[in-house]
Every structure is written in structure tokens, then in C-alpha cells.
Amino acid sequence: MNLTEAREKLAAVLAPIADDDPDVLVSLVDSLEPPALMIGWDDPMLEAPTTACLSTGRLAITVVAGRLVPGEGVSTLEDLIAYTHRRLRADSGAWAIDVTSGPRRFDMAQTTYLAARITVRVTIT
């Protein structure tokens, strides 16, 4: 796939199917309603071509479980990570999971959320 379609294709793979699936955001936003998956580019965005002029792109999925408050937030986050991994594996192996972070705080619009980051690799033509 080419660089300009990678985010949209990843969003289509993760798009909600059931009513309780998380929203998928593919652009920079200034607010969100958890649970949500936010797609953006990771660093390095592109790795140098290896063979046949193919590069490796690195996309980041920020998995946002909810506001950072005491309670069952980590379990919710673990469920969202497992959901995201299942959906990625179901797409014919196009998305290689590179790394998944542990729980972390994620700040947006003066609100602190519980989140994790999943980085995937994809071949870019």
C-alpha cells in the first residue's frame, strides 16, 4: 500500500462492527470519548527501503480505555489491547505488531486517560 492510504486502511481494519466496539480516530483530535483507538504515525515513520524499493511504515495505535481513576481501568485496557490484536491478526497478516506498551497516562484537553500504544509495521510501496 502507499503512504497516503496506510492510516485509512488500518482504520478500516479496526472499524467498529458491534455497538460496543471502540471508536477509531484517524486524524489528530483535541478530544475523544473512551474507549477509543487513535491512529497516527510512529517514529520513525518510515524505515529505509530494503529491497525492491519497499519501505517499512510504522503506525501507532493509541488505545484509550478511559479516564485515569482508581478501579478496573487496567482490565478494560487489557481487553481493548486483546481486541485490537485480534482485529489486526484477522487481516491476512498485513499489519505486523511491532511492540505494545504497558499502561500509561495519556493527557488530552486537560484530561488524563489510561492508555497503551501498539506499534504496527506495514510495507509501503
How many domains in the chain?
1
Counting every residue written for the chain, the total comes to: 125
pLDDT band with cut points at 50, 70 and 90 for residue 57: very high
Q: Which residues contact 62 (CB under 8 A, 6 or more apart)?
A: 37, 38, 39, 40, 106, 115, 116, 117
Lowest mean pLDDT among 14-23, 40-49, 98-107: 40-49
At position 10, the amino acid (one-letter code) is L
Range of the domain at 18: 3-124
Element (H, E) at 79: helix 73-89
- Confidence (pLDDT) at 37: 98
Confidence (pLDDT) at 88: 95
Q: Could you tell me the pTM of the whole model?
A: 0.92
The CATH number linked to 96 is: 3.30.70.1700
Per-residue pLDDT at 47? 87
Written as one letter, the residue type at 18 is A
Number of H-type helices and E-type strands within the chain: 2, 6
Residues 83, 110: Cα–Cα separation, whole Å: 27
Would you state the cell numbers that stand for residue 48, as one nine-digit string? 529505509
Cell triple for residue 113?
486517560
13 three-class SS: helix
The tens digit of pLDDT for each residue in 97-117 reads 999 999 999 999 999 999 999
